[in-house]
Structure 1
């Protein structure tokens, strides 16, 4: 059977509401006809997601040396990356940033903190910040605060947090090469705690860390089992001072495969182009937004700058897609 025929068969199964198995996803991620794969992923996106692009901004509310040894991370205390650092920001400052994000047209605002898990004192401060954003700004709030306990997850839900982000980072088989201070299962456990508390899930990983194509498929398959409301796919930016500082960038064709196949696996999830978009994609994501993706993070990341919001909104308009702005 021709590549195009296989893609159409699988596309029609997904459009009819059927789930693809891992072997079918394996066929797709190894397919040669990337143009047809891209077009099919776009059709699935339009059917289940419409023409809207989810635009998110985030706040690195605590930028400091983290106790974990994730080899990609410029905030790990294990590596000398020379980043500027700060403790938990004052509530007023975060409130201003959240209001600015909403005024610029962001759909949601994610509070991110660099730590293994929040201390009780820091968690209470974050809860206060969430309450103020909810009451004074009125933007959809998401959080990425590391490992959670069940009471903490329930408290976030009670405060109106919509979604909790906790990335799997990479395939289970690759994870021990990426981090040794916690396990892949630790990450899954936090996602299950968040889900049990009624929070929506945002999870994903980073591609381009030396993993194989089969390991990318492994990650996609695990994400599909979780059925997250949002998937965030980062493209590694090799940060000087980290063990991956000399990592060769992943080819665009491999990036496209991941986004397209993730769409086949998770037709009803937001699939967001995240860190590394402005570094590795000459068009800032235009082609991927027509190949399965339907979301972006704008205006910067945890340790990296990003496109200005108006530039991203113009890019989305250019390819005839829509936002809330």
Structure 2
């Protein structure tokens, strides 16, 4: 794609806050213009996310229904059989997905038989000519190399929020642990998927600080998920207010302008958005969604694939094919 807008890695908080606070329609126009310089504006990457191991996590992330210490009613599920996962991947590809993501509710990857099975899953999905993504918690450089050798394309490890606000949300790990895992992913030659969540009780400056960390990395994450808090009953944040749609739009637009080559993912929270609201997010620069058979995005509700395909058609958008998705530096 055309590269008229140069990539920058030296943003300041003041610059990003000024972008975030632009008059809304001006901000959307500016972000849409950048989007069209770097991406095909009528294409949206469809990704399917499957929880291959659910619940029982020892972490205390305040937003997460999979933390063992919270009573959320989520059923703990051991690591799925490899063939079950591969069957889900085949169905995802039939439904138009070009990326298949596997998530395990682990604090960290351990070198054991479960990780060996994950390696087999990665190999199997890669053989289907799908981009393979995993989110498995913290991992070492050696483990990242094993995943790369198996055919993994991307690793997801969200920052969640700003470094300053991080300890208000999670106490069982540090912000630096997040950065270390992302560094290990980079060293292995994998692409990085890293973003955050809004609606945690953070300030607007916390949101900007999180984007600043990502935008000033030596290499921008190829994928930047912007999540709205899914208020899971039984978690400490269950009574937080619903995220305002214009806050989502501002975050997406700011991420698009600061990291023009990245895929900006409209992630958790879509179930509470109307088609019109999601349309504004696409206009502001989002070009990827998670979809599936009205199952769950990990443990939170997600729109069904037929609804999503109809929405894309209504908006004049089409699913991105893998060849487009992996071309150049765009994702």
Whether TM-score is above 0.5 comes out as yes
User: 1:291 deviation in Å?
Assistant: 0.7
Q: Distance in 1 between matches of 2:67 and 2:118?
A: 21
Q: Does 1:275 align with 2:265?
A: no
User: Could you tell me which of 126, 133, 138 is aligned with 1:142?
Assistant: 133
**Greater Cα offset, 290-299 or 300-309:** 300-309
SS at 2:195's partner residue?
Answer: strand
Matches within 5 A, 1:175-254: 175-226=166-217, 227-254=220-247
| Cα distance in 2, alignment partners of residues 310 and 223 from structure 1 | 33
Mapping 1:249-260, distance limit 5 Å:
249-260=242-253
- Mapped pair 1:310 → 2:306: yes
| 2:290 is the counterpart of 1:301 | no
| Contact 2:231-2:237 at 8 Å conserved across structures | yes
1:90 aligns with 2:81: yes
How far residue 320 of structure 1 moved from its aligned partner, in angstroms, is 1.8
Change (3 A) 1:118 1:37: same
Aligned counterpart in structure 2 of residue 72 of structure 1, from 35, 52, 63: 63
Does the CA-based 8 Å contact 1:165-1:202 persist in structure 2? yes
- The answer to whether 1:123 aligns with 2:115 is yes
1:36-75 matches, cutoff 5 A = 36-51=26-41, 52-75=43-66
In the alignment, which residue of structure 1 is the partner of 2:325? none
CA distance in structure 2 between the aligned counterparts of 1:153 and 1:40, rounded to whole angstroms: 37
8 Å CA contact retained: 2:245, 2:277: no
Contact 1:56 1:298 in 2 (8 A): yes
**Residues matched between the structures, number:** 310
CA contact (8 A) 2:60 2:67 kept: yes
Q: Where do 5+ consecutive residues of structure 1 fail to align? A: 1-13
TM-score (norm 2): 0.90
Equivalent of residue 170 in structure 1, options 161, 169, 185: 161
CA contact (8 A) 1:237 1:279 kept: no
Structure 1: how far apart are the matches of 2:165 and 2:29? 30
Query: In the aligned structure 2, how far is the partner of 1:214 from the partner of 1:134?
Result: 39
Partner of 1:107: 98
- Equivalent residue for 1:21, pick from 11, 21, 29: 11
Match of 1:34 among 9, 14, 24: 24
Unmatched runs of 5 consecutive residues or more in structure 2: 322-331
Q: How far does residue 134 in structure 1 lie from its aligned partner after superposition? A: 2.4
1:264 equivalent in alignment to 2:291: no
Q: Which runs of 4+ in 1 moved over 3 A?
A: 280-284
> 1:284: how far off?
6.0
* Cα distance in 1 between the residues matched to 2:319 and 2:102: 21
Structure 1 counterpart SS, 2:159: coil
Partner SS, residue 75 of structure 2: coil
- Over the aligned positions, Cα root-mean-square deviation in angstroms equals 1.5
Moved more, 264-273 or 76-85: 76-85
